[in-house]
Amino acid sequence: MNPLASTRAEKLRQLRDNFVRQIPGMLDTLTAACRSEAWTEAHRHAHTLAGTAGTFGLEEVGVEARSLELLLQDVPATGGAPDPLVLGERIARLQAAVTRVRPPAQA
Amino acid sequence: MSDPEALRVLYIEDEDNIRTVGQFALEEVGGMVVEPCPSGRSALEQGPGFRADVILLDVMMPGMDGVATFKALREHPATAAVPVIFMTAKVQPQEVEAYLRMGAVSVIAKPFDPISLSDEVRAILERVQAAPARL
């Protein structure tokens, strides 16, 4: 790999690692919003996690977050709620995907 | 010092991590000059003075979303004629068509590849410049 490409790759790795460190907190925020039945907020958190994970090549996390996002997207603005079994399953799959993410390189 | 011929991009994206990697992709990989905006409101403040060649606009943003931001940018003389590319995960054909009917020149799907994003933007602008009558 030429030096410039190597520098860019290293920079992207650093940005990825910075995001990976944030994932547990993002997941906690998302699940807390689901527990509180703050569906609009939960949808937004799922959308953010899905988009960011995908951008950093964390495909499985991105796919599972997108699946959760789509479930929450369909919740009516007033008085609605996602199927709790489906919601629980999709959150579990997302949590499992997060556990399989390669941790950041040690400093 | 930036290249005076470098493409100038007004980049509107609310998510910090995506905005950071997008700016890196456009600047470091693409050699572009980027004005990052974390919201639609900031885009309306920063955009008119920046003299962008193109606007990259996230669709789903809190408060003032991408569509509202697009319409507001169209109202300002300094940004009204700047080509706008929406960036969104919602890229079903009917959704893309809706954005194009609105007046965007193209839609880039998210998640994007940081290494090829700048090439994608350039290719879109080349198509726009080659065939403006089809817009």
pLDDT of residue B131: 76
Is the minimum CB–CB distance between A66 and chain B shorter than 8 Å?
A: yes
pLDDT 10s digits, A35-56? 999 999 999 999 999 999 999 9
Alpha-helix runs per DSSP H in B2-135:
16-24, 40-50, 66-75, 93-102, 117-130
Output the pLDDT for position B18: 95
**In the predicted model, what is the mean pLDDT of residues B25-47?**
97
The complex's ipTM works out to: 0.82
Mutating which of B15, B21, B23, B61 best tests the A interface, going by the most A Cβ atoms within 10 A? B21
Is residue B91 less than 8 Å (CB to CB) from chain A?
A: no
User: b or e along A21-47 (b: 16 or more beta carbons within 10 Å of the residue's beta carbon)?
Assistant: eebeebbeebeebbeeeebebbbbbbb
Residue by residue, DSSP assigns B67-83 as: HHHHHHHHHSTTTTTS-
Can you read off the two tokens belonging to residue A59?
A: 């495909």
Q: Residue by residue, what is the 3-state secondary structure of A30-85?
A: HHHHHHCCCHHHHHHHHHHHHHHHHHCCCHHHHHHHHHHHHHHHCCCCCCCCCCHH
Residue in chain B closest to A15 (alpha carbons) equals B21
Asked if A47 has any chain B CB less than 8 Å from its own CB, the reply is yes
Contact A51 B20 (CB under 8 A): no
Distance in Å, alpha carbon of B132 to nearest chain A alpha carbon: 31
Hey, are the CB atoms on A62 and B21 less than 8 Å from each other? Answer: no
State yes or no: pLDDT of B96 exceeds 60: yes
pLDDT at residue B135 is higher than 50: no
Of the candidates B44, B23, B25, B24, the one whose C-alpha atom is nearest the C-alpha of residue B35 is B23
The residue whose two tokens read 């890196």 is B24
Q: Is the pLDDT of residue A15 over 50?
A: yes
Chain A hits for B89, CB-CB cut-off 8 Å, are 47, 50-51, 54, 66
